[in-house]
Amino acid sequence: MKKLVESSGVEVAFEEVDVVTTGTFGAMCSSGAIINVGHSDPPIKIQRAWINDVEVCHPGAAVDLFIGATNMSETKPFEYGGGHVIEDLIRGKEVELRATAYGTDCYPRTRIETTLTKDDLNQFYLLNFRNCYQRYNCATNSRDEILHTYMGKLLPRFGNATFSGAGELNPLVNDPDYETIGIGTRILLGGAQGYVIGEGTQHSPGKQLGTLSVRGDAKKMSADYIRGATFTKYGTTLYVGVGIPIPVLNEGIAGKAAVRNEDVFTDIVDYGIPRRDRPTLGRVSYKELRSGKIAIEDKDVKVSSLSSLRKAEDIAGTLKSWVEDARFYLTLPVETLPTDSAAQPMKQTKEIAFVENVVQEAVTCNEDEEIRAVANRIISRSVNHVIVVDRENKLKGIVTSWDITKAIAEDKSRLSDIVTRRVVTATLSEPLDSASRTMAQHNISALPVINKDGKVLGIATSEDISKLRGGARND
């Protein structure tokens, strides 16, 4: 379609092409599976359940369970989770079910352990409430430390960038006005036939952030198109393959389906800022993203994809062959999806604390000062940390009372010999939870607070955070 429109125009393409097939394959965390395990003898009304040590939700009646893709194993967290359970079941593997209950007159059993395969389940269907994201942010990291996110590992100081999505091949990019995609649209889901059952959560088509809710029979699916996965130090997920046929009903659809990667844009977002509204550093096209390098603040940055374009192309090709072989029939939606909705932020009725609520004036020194002079400052100011700055008050390092004590014991006199130069920092707008986690991860008790230019604004200590939280508990 795309080449035909470019070579011969929209009118010719509309006359010659009946259907455009699309595809995408990537991590879709808002995914899961409904299973019914059947009644035991004596019967049990399940209260809590685990499959392969992954806790699963009990959302309804006695033996209905929901396997969430992001739930992690209690024995192998960050290695195995609900997405892997779903993949194992699709592959026909045997899984271990463990369940407990409080017991009732009609469901007297309080515990059960057994093994199951998909053939033992009454129902096993994928029920994904946000899939097929129209586009994703391009993620990068301005901080001085590695971040582990749902956009993968982000290296310090814009050391890399990541993105996801199939760009010009994505279904919602090819039908952005939802003329052919709606409730009841038949799709390829996980290598089998499935259906769109509504708009996905956080559906925001006006911002080109549309999503879909989808359902399909997982017993018929293939592990070629459904994969459990792990993002290092973030959590587990499920890679899902989705393909949607778009019937070319008019010239308008033909023109939209001719979209190219250079026409599909997304934001470059700084994930180094731990807030909902992260700074946008620029706009970039999927053509630029596919090149492997983008510009961020006049710096060439390597960029890589978290999704598989080759698999997306395979899905679109498979769907095409199904349609051509009359193994897949197109359906018009029984109801259209909203085109004017927008995701709203969470209503928060209680404020949380930020670093700005605990920041204190920092005791500073210059690198050319004597160690004994800094030691006297630690004593006179009753502090454990002194921040090393230059003449412009920019951060150069940090020394602690332990560093000073050790240096004096070893008869050292030059401060430059004991300064810690790789300093973990915070910003005023950083949540205290994030700052506390950073301290725990690095086994430190204070964070210099800096601005975007690296100038020292103060210091936040674990002691000050504990005082604030203690006061909050006593209110």
List, by residue number, the catalytic residues.
106
Cβ atoms 192, 186 nearer than 8 A: no
Q: How far apart are CA 323 and CA 21, in angstroms?
A: 9
How many residues appear in the chain?
475
Q: How many helices (H) and strands (E) does the chain have?
A: 11, 30
From the list 78, 16, 21, the residue with the least C-alpha distance to 257 is: 21
CA atoms within 13 A on the CB side of 383: 24
- Torsion of Cα atoms, 234 then 236 then 239 then 240, to 10°: -120
Between β-strands 299-305 and 161-163, what pairing exists: parallel, antiparallel or unpaired? parallel
Phi and psi, residue 376, nearest 5° = -65, -35
Q: What does the DSSP assignment read for 17-77?
A: -SEEE--EEEE-SS-EEEEE----SS-B--SEEEETTEEEB--SSTTEEEEETT-BBSSST
Cβ atoms 385, 397 nearer than 8 A: no
Q: What does the DSSP assignment read for 127-145?
A: EEEEES-S--PEEE--SSS
Q: How far apart are CA 136 and CA 312, in angstroms?
A: 16
Using DSSP, state whether 215 is helix, strand or coil: strand
Locate all alpha helices (DSSP H) within 348-454, ordered by sequence: 371-381, 401-409, 432-442
- Torsion of Cα atoms, 140 then 143 then 148 then 153, to 10°: 50
How many angstroms separate the Cα of 153 from the Cα of each of 38, 44, 160, 319, 357? Answer: 41, 43, 9, 33, 30
> How large is the angle between the packed helices 432-442 and 462-474, nearest 10 degrees?
140
- Torsion of Cα atoms, 151 then 208 then 289 then 287, to 10°: 160
Other C-beta atoms within 10 Å of 208: how many? 14
